[in-house]
Amino acid sequence: MRPVNLIVALIVALHLVSSESSAHADGIILVTGTASQHQREIVVDAFETTAKSMRWKLSAPSLARELIDASVKCLGNSAPWTCVAPEIRANEQIVIVQLESERGASTPTTVATAHVLITGIQGDVSASRYSETSNEEAFKRNTADLSKVLQDAAERTGRTKLVIRSKPDKAWVTLDGRNIGATERTLATYPGPHTISIRRIGYKAITRDVVATEGKVNTEEFELEPDNPANGSDPRKPLPPPGGGTSNPGADGGTSRLIPKVAVGVGAAAIAAGVFWLVYDEDPEPHGPQQPTYHNTSRYGYISLTAGLATAGVGLYFWLRPEAVSTPTVTPLRGGGASAGWLWRF
């Protein structure tokens, strides 16, 4: 039994050593160029912090100058990953940051360019930031922003996915402050923390912090609640009018009906006057003796009749319309979206 126990112990020990080694050798970062040692330390610290948030580990090993220069030359190759030396390619991620000084401009500037190589992907993902050489705080901020290129590189691999669902569906999704469309939504992302916001008209917005696991399909489901319980679950129902008003017909008194009623009354009076003037109209006789005077009132009759019909028609229109309210409405559109606006009624 002793040999068996010894073999088991050796296997466990090798597994632990292998796990420890792989956990601390995910990737390496190489800083090259005409930068001070302090600037190099700032760069390494920024990239290690971002990598840690992604559950990655970057180390900054001491390598021979020839090996570093050869790796930089490989960046111009169409397949830089296969170009770098095997001892460097043994890492999951290779980050090369070039720091150069531009003194031709009026203000000395430091240019930081980062290249990220990931196993299984031939091309590199790169980005650059510019900072005044004398402004250390600006250099720190820009370097921290430059380190986000690690997230872009991880997203391009497509190894980590995020599936976002909602009930009801067709809700708008914001991921880390960026609109990405409507549910159900599946997209490649980077491992680590994310903030998801779900919004749909008629429902309460939901914001959730999640952590995406690398190499997996991470599913997040959201159960939306109606924004106003009195409206039920149908977002197409109108919301209560602003200012605590009411949408019940007649609840706001007869003020909104008074003007249409007056308009109908005035129009009816004008119609009656027009009829009177048309009846009272007198025209000269074409033959025989003529009257010394006659009343030609047809013009007044037509004007009064036309004005009366228009006034009464407008009054009836607003009188017979639904009660005067100001109500926000939501109209569903094709594709699951919706439009919102105000309907003003008088």
**pLDDT surpassing 60 at residue 24:** no
Rounded to two decimals, the pTM is 0.58
324-339 pLDDT tens trace: 444 444 444 444 444 4
Instruction: State the average pLDDT over residues 229-258.
Output: 51
262-317 pLDDT tens trace: 877 887 887 888 787 677 666 665 555 555 555 667 777 778 778 878 887 887 77
Q: Are residues 118 and 193 in the same domain?
A: no
Domain count across the chain: 3
Residues belonging to the chain: 346
Instruction: State the average pLDDT over residues 172-191.
Output: 95
Q: Are residues 102 and 186 in the same domain?
A: no
Q: What is the pLDDT of residue 322?
A: 60
**250 confidence band (pLDDT: 50, 70, 90):** very low
**pLDDT surpassing 90 at residue 218:** yes
Residue 46: domain span? 22-156
Task: Please indicate, yes or no, if residue 240 is contained in any of the structural domains.
Answer: no
- More confident site: 266 or 240: 266
- More confident site: 281 or 140: 140
Q: What is the pLDDT of residue 285?
A: 58
DSSP 120-134: T--S-EEEEEEEETT
CB-based contacts of 98, cutoff 8 Å, min separation 6: 32, 33, 72, 111, 112, 113, 114, 115
What is the C-alpha separation between 191 and 187, in angstroms, rounded? 12
Task: Please indicate, yes or no, if residue 246 is contained in any of the structural domains.
Answer: no
Q: How far is CA 61 from the centre of its chain?
A: 40
127-139 pLDDT tens trace: 999 999 889 999 9
**pLDDT surpassing 70 at residue 233:** no
Q: Are residues 304 and 319 in the same domain?
A: yes
DSSP summary character for residue 177:
T
112-123 pLDDT tens trace: 999 999 987 878
**pLDDT surpassing 90 at residue 184:** yes
Q: Are residues 116 and 222 in the same domain?
A: no
77-109 pLDDT tens trace: 888 988 999 989 889 999 999 999 887 667 889
Report in angstroms the alpha-carbon separations of 86 from 89, 100, 224, 231, 286: 5, 27, 52, 65, 120
Pairing assessment for the beta strands 27-33 and 93-102 based on DSSP bridges: parallel
Q: Are residues 143 and 32 in the same domain?
A: yes
Beta strands in 50-159 (DSSP E): 58-59, 93-102, 109-118, 125-132
Q: Are residues 216 and 269 in the same domain?
A: no
- Between CA 2 and CA 8, with CA 3 as vertex, the angle to 5 degrees is 95
